[in-house]
Amino acid sequence: MKLTFSPAVEEFRREFLTWLDENRPSEEEMEAEPARSSAHAPGWARRWTRRMFDDGWLVPGWPPERGGRNAGPVEQLVYLEELQRAGVPRTTNPQGLGIVAPSILDFGTEAQIRDYAMPLLRGERTACLGMSEPGAGSDLASLSTRAVLDGDRFVVNGQKVWTSGANYAEFCFLFCRTDPDLPKHKGISILLLDMDTPGVTVRPLPEIIDPAHPDLNEVFFSDVEIPAANLVGELNNGWAMANGSLAHERGMVWLNAVMTLEGDMARLLGETPALVANLSEIERAVSIDRVMELYTDVQAARCLGYRGFARLMRGGTAPEQALMKAFASETRRELNLVASEMQGARAVDTSVHTGLDDTGTWLESYFRSFGATISAGSSEIQRNIISERVLGLPRN
C-alpha cells in the first residue's frame, strides 16, 4: 500500500517548504549558540519562534492571532514531518509550547493569556512544568507541595523534582495541593509562578551524559508568595486540567518519536557494514538479524502511529497512543543497545562519534534513551493503560 496526500495538502507542503527555506535559522546560528536546556531559548530561537508566530507557522492548527492558519490535522502532520526532516527544532521549549501555552489558552484568564501564554508563543518567555515530586510521579495525585490562600496571595511550600528546564525557565506551571482534606484527586490547583520570586531555589541534577549542561532539576519552595490572580482555572480543579494539559502533548508526539527512531535506523543501516566487518561469522549473522528485526519494528511504529492518527481524526480515542509511547521509546533504547554491542569495546570510547555528531556515541545515546521510557508516563504505566483500556482486563 502506498500512502499519498491530496493535491491541496501537497500545495500546503510546497508553501511551507518555500517559507522554511527563506526563514529558517542557519546551521551556523544554531551551532554558535546551542540551547542548554529544554527551557533555554538562545537569541536565534526567540527570533525563530517570533517569525513562525507572525507568519502563522508556529501552531498551524490554531487561528492567525495565536500563531496559526487554521490548518487541518493532515496539514499539521505534514508540517511537523517537514520541519523535522529539515533538522530545524520547532521550539527549544517543548513543554512551554506543547503543554503550558495551550493549557493557559484553554483555562486561563484574559490577563494570564496576555502575560503568560502570548509571550510564550511570541518567543519572549519560556516555561517549565512543575508536576512531579519525590513522592508523586506516576501517582501524580499524591503531590504534597502546599499552597495556602492568604488574602490576595497563595503561600507555597514544598518541592518538585525532575523539572525539565527549571534552571532556565522564566515561569512555572505549578501543581499544588490547595485542600488537603479533599480526596487526593481533588484539592489540586495550578498556579503560574515567576521563577525569580523570592523563596524559589533551583538545584540542577547533573546527568550521566553531559553533566555540565543539566536539564533536570529539583525546585524548592519556601514561603513563596504567588498572587491569587495567578490561579489557573478553578480552585481545586487542577486534576481535570492536568488531564487536559497532557492530552495536548499526546496528539502528535508519536510523530517526533517515530522520526527520531527512523533517523537512528538510517544511521545504523549506514554503519552496519563497517560495524559487522570485524565480527565472527556467527556474530555477524546474529547482528544482522537483530538489525533487520529492528528495521521491521521501526516500520511497524510508523504504521501504528498512522493508525492512531486516523482514529483521532475520526474523532475517536486512540489507545494506540499508549502503545506508541511504550513501543517507540523501547525500540529506540534497543536500537542503541544493538549498535553499541556491535561496536564491542569501542563503544566506551567517547571520542568515536560514529556519525552521531549531534547526540554523541551510540552508548551515550543508549543511556539517554531511558528518559523517554519514563517521562510523560513510564512504560509500565502505558502497559497498565493498554491492559485496562485496550484489552479490557480488570484493574489490579
Say if residues 210 and 37 touch (Cβ distance below 8 Å). no
The correct pick among 197, 236, 256, 375 for binding ligand FAD (CB under 6 A) is 375
- Among 68, 137, 238, 305, which residue sits at the site for ligand FAD (rule: CB under 6 A)? 137
Of residues 112 and 132, the one with the C-beta less far from ligand FAD: 132
- Shortest distance (Å) from residue 256 CB to ligand FAD: 14
The counts of H helices and E strands in the chain are: 13, 8
Report which DSSP code applies to 235. Answer: T
**Total residues contacting ligand FAD (rule CB under 6 A)?**
18
CB-based contacts of 363, cutoff 8 Å, min separation 6: 336, 340, 343, 347, 348
- How far, CA to CA in Å, does 64 sit from each of 19, 55, 148, 217, 379? 16, 8, 39, 35, 37
Cell 517521562 -> residue:
375
Nearest approach in angstroms of CB 95 to ligand FAD is 6
The residue within the footprint of ligand FAD, chosen from 144, 260, 384, 387 (CB under 6 A), is 384
Of residues 145-204, those binding ligand FAD (CB under 6 A): 162-164
Looking at beta carbons only, is 210 or 380 nearer to ligand FAD?
380
- C-beta closer to ligand FAD: residue 202 or 381: 381
Around Cβ 59, how many Cβ atoms within 10 Å?
Answer: 23
- Nearest-10 crossing angle of helices 320-343, 281-313: 160
Does 214 interact with ligand FAD (rule: CB under 6 A)? no
Least Å from the CB of residue 386 to ligand FAD: 12
129 versus 347: smaller Cβ distance to ligand FAD? 129
Min dist. Cβ of residue 76 to ligand FAD (A): 24
In DSSP terms, 101 is beta-bridged to none
Residue 245 binds to ligand FAD (criterion: CB under 6 A): no
From the list 378, 386, 387, 388, which residue makes contact with ligand FAD (rule: CB under 6 A)? Answer: 378
Residue nearest to ligand FAD (CB): 137
Rounded distance, CA 73 to CA 87, Å? 21
Query: 201: how many CB neighbours lie within 10 A of its CB?
Result: 12
Position among 380, 389, 390, 393 found at the interface with ligand FAD (CB under 6 A): 380
Binding segment toward ligand FAD, per CB under 6 A, in 72-80, 298-306, 334-342, 378-386: 378-386
Total Cβ atoms within 10 A of residue 62: 19
State which residue, 92 or 95, has the beta carbon closest to ligand FAD.
95
* x/- map, 70-109, ligand FAD, by CB under 6 A: -------------------------x--------------
Q: Which helix (H) or strand (E) holds 223?
A: strand 217-227
Between 83 and 131, whose beta carbon lies closer to ligand FAD? 131
Q: Are 37 and 168 in contact (CB under 8 A)?
A: yes
Closest to 327 in 3D by CA, of 353, 285, 297: 297
Taking the least distance from each CB to ligand FAD, the nearer of 133 and 271 is 133
Q: How many CB atoms lie within 10 A of CB 173?
A: 26
* Radius of gyration for the chain, computed over Cα atoms and rounded to the nearest angstrom: 22
20, 269, 374, 386: which one binds ligand FAD (CB under 6 A): 374
Residues in the chain: 396
Closest approach, Cβ 292 to ligand FAD, in A, equals: 30
Binding to ligand FAD, residues 113-132 (CB under 6 A): 128-132
Helix (H) or strand (E) holding 191: strand 188-194
Separation CA 377–CA 138 (nearest Å): 7
Binding site for ligand FAD (CB under 6 A): 95, 128-132, 137-138, 162-164, 371, 374-375, 378, 380-381, 384
